[in-house]
Chain A
Amino acid sequence: MSLLSLKNLFKTFGGLVAVNGVSFEVDENAIMGLIGPNGAGKTTVFNAITGNYKPDSGEVIFDRKHITGMPTHEIVRLGIARTFQNIRLFKSMRLVENVLAGCHCRMKAGVFSSILRLPSQRKEEARAVERSMRELAFVGLDSQYNNLAGNLSYGNQRLLEIARALASDPRFLILDEPAGGMNDQETEDLMEIIHAIQGRGITILLIEHDMNLVMRICKHLVVLEYGAVIAEGTPEEIKKNPLVIEAYLGAEE
């Protein structure tokens, strides 16, 4: 049973066709990779799933619900969380506050209970802090919870984004180049974390340029070029696919 399916997605910017009829499905609790050369439209596909861009046509179906064109925050509530390619943390805020942002959509306190600090609000707040600390511990940043996000190393900032996304209790996690800027050791650790996320029953879709990571971690890959899917299959199949080799290395004359 697929958790997410894209059907014939189109998105243009002015005259440029960024996504040209993309369709694929992501199975429940899979780790799937979306790869392709720079400018192939991978991030645009992500943005269409998460509601940052409204696709011109096509459908995004998540857990049998049409979520095409829904606002981002509602999509997050339904259980799709993401990280950003160009890390978008709240840099001048503390680690724990960054993760608390993820908890926001699972909290209920309104203006009145907040402004009057009712017992229900205090309890909820304590639970959210606890949850945030758990997620920080999950990625190994718990000891730095009171530091500022901007002071973290690049690799740790990526992990913090993952913790923030996890705090929103997603069923589906979208990672946009999670290993970007990480050294080898950090990438190894990241792979463990991604496996652990899968262990929590969360489905993962990721964009990554580190082929070593992609081939080792993903069971299924989709290859995009010029906004269209050119190949799909297991890492072994993809490695042998002539179209993919051509897309990455250029055509042989």
Chain B
Amino acid sequence: MEEFFQQLTNGLAVGGIYALIALGYTMVYGILRLINFAHGDLFTLGAYLGFTLLVSWGLSGVLGGLAVAGVLILFAMGLVAIAGCLLERIAYRPLRNSDRLTAVVSALGASIFVQNAIMLVCGARSQVYPTGILPTTIIPIFGVDVSAMRFLMFGFSLLLMLLLYGFIHKTRLGAAIRAVAIDQDAAKLMGIDVNRIISTVFLIGPALGGAAGVMVGLFYGQITYDMGFSFGLKAFTAAILGGIGNIPGAMVGGILLGVIEALGAAYISIAWKDAIAFCVLILILIFRPTGILGERVAEKI
């Protein structure tokens, strides 16, 4: 029971991070029908930007723990958002009207580029986040000692997701994003500036990814230049699990995948932990390709 509870809370914390990254995939996919392979590497970029800020500016000496974390996350979100926007301009916008394979290959190229740029600048060795920024308090719940950091992680992911959800559903810009996702041409005819909407999505998605990057750094304490690949792929799995293009779906899928993975690693095999997510991916695509919350769309013949 204790083991189960530990793994469950751990899964929720990681799942929140998956969900944040998955949102970036799902929003871009919803609008451009493109798997933004570079998204995972933008997430890594966020982790490294946070690290740089933390180490070179010596923030932790000036501010309290949570405030440092907040500043780091905001800083990473802003810069990664700019990077995402640039990426869209350079690698995706010229391919807006070409076929999907072309865009996917460009996305892969962008992913390789960003990943190796990070490696060249920051080195191939893993970096260690300074500890002691977030409280390491242990909270006893139902007689089980659980690290408070997990709740902090999960809570913060949830907060960002709720903000996004509110933005998408309560603002004019959010309505425009939804409109473009449903039908770009119709949205254009209604006077929506599609390019601006796509840029907005490439600001929001990477910003969330950047936040997730810093959170991973704070949570695990260690970051590597190629972690974007496995985190990205798992987050994409989460997006498909929830129903690609569907924002609440990405949230549910991310959290669910985090929990499945944590429990699987504990009860099946730790060595096969990384394979679990891929098995989930394959199974979901075989049995319910539209995901949990996705709708079946008939193809027009």
B298 — which chain A residues lie within 8 A by C-beta?
13, 53
A52 to B298, CA, bound (A): 11
B301 contacts A by Cβ under 8 Å: yes
Closest residue to A18 on the B side, CB-wise? B298
B301 — which chain A residues lie within 8 A by C-beta?
43, 47, 52-53, 84
A47 to B298, CA, bound (A): 12
How many residues of B sit at the interface, in one of the four size bands? under 10
Closest residue to A47 on the B side, CB-wise? B301
How many residues of A sit at the interface, in one of the four size bands? under 10
Tell me the smallest distance from the CB of B58 to a CB of chain A, in Å.
59
- Write 7 A-B pairs (CB below 8 A) sorted by A numbering: A13-B298, A43-B301, A47-B301, A52-B301, A53-B298, A53-B301, A84-B301
A43 to B301, CA, bound (A): 8
Closest residue to A52 on the B side, CB-wise? B301
Q: Mark B262-301, 1 if CB is under 8 A from A, else 0.
A: 0000000000000000000000000000000000001001
Tell me the smallest distance from the CB of A128 to a CB of chain B, in Å.
27
Closest residue to B299 on the A side, CB-wise? A52
A13 to B301, CA, bound (A): 13
Tell me the smallest distance from the CB of A189 to a CB of chain B, in Å.
27
Tell me the smallest distance from the CB of A47 to a CB of chain B, in Å.
6
Tell me the smallest distance from the CB of B293 to a CB of chain A, in Å.
16
Q: Which 6 A-B pairs have the closest CB atoms?
A: A13-B298, A52-B301, A47-B301, A43-B301, A84-B301, A53-B301
A43 to B298, CA, bound (A): 14
Interface residues of A in 168-225 (CB under 8 A from B): none
A13 to B299, CA, bound (A): 11
A58 to B273, CA, bound (A): 48
A84 — which chain B residues lie within 8 A by C-beta?
301
A13 to B298, CA, bound (A): 7
Q: Mark A44-78, 1 if CB is under 8 A from B, else 0.
A: 00010000110000000000000000000000000
Tell me the smallest distance from the CB of B62 to a CB of chain A, in Å.
57
A43 — which chain B residues lie within 8 A by C-beta?
301
Q: Mark A26-54, 1 if CB is under 8 A from B, else 0.
A: 00000000000000000100010000110
Tell me the smallest distance from the CB of A12 to a CB of chain B, in Å.
10
Interface residues of B in 20-67 (CB under 8 A from A): none
Tell me the smallest distance from the CB of B208 to a CB of chain A, in Å.
32
Tell me the smallest distance from the CB of A25 to a CB of chain B, in Å.
24
Closest residue to B298 on the A side, CB-wise? A13
